[in-house]
Copies of this chain bind each other. A is one copy, B any other.
Amino acid sequence: MAYDTAIAALADPTRRALVERLRAGPQPVGVLADDLPISRPAVSQHLKVLSDAGLLEVEPQGARRLYRLAPRGLDELRAYLDGLWDDALSSFAARAREVAKGS
Residues of B near A25 (CB, < 8 A) are: 91, 94
Q: Mark A70-103, 1 if CB is under 8 A from B, else 0.
A: 1100110110011011011101101100000000
Q: Is A52's beta carbon under 8 Å from chain B?
A: no
Residues of B near A11 (CB, < 8 A) are: 7-8, 10-11
> Could you give 17 example pairs across A and B, Cβ below 8 Å?
A8-B11, A10-B11, A19-B84, A25-B94, A26-B91, A57-B95, A68-B91, A69-B84, A69-B88, A69-B92, A70-B91, A70-B92, A71-B85, A71-B88, A71-B89, A74-B84, A78-B85
Q: Which residues of A contact B (CB under 8 A)?
A: 4, 7-8, 10-11, 13, 16, 19, 22-23, 25-26, 57, 59, 68-71, 74-75, 77-78, 81-82, 84-85, 87-89, 91-92, 94-95
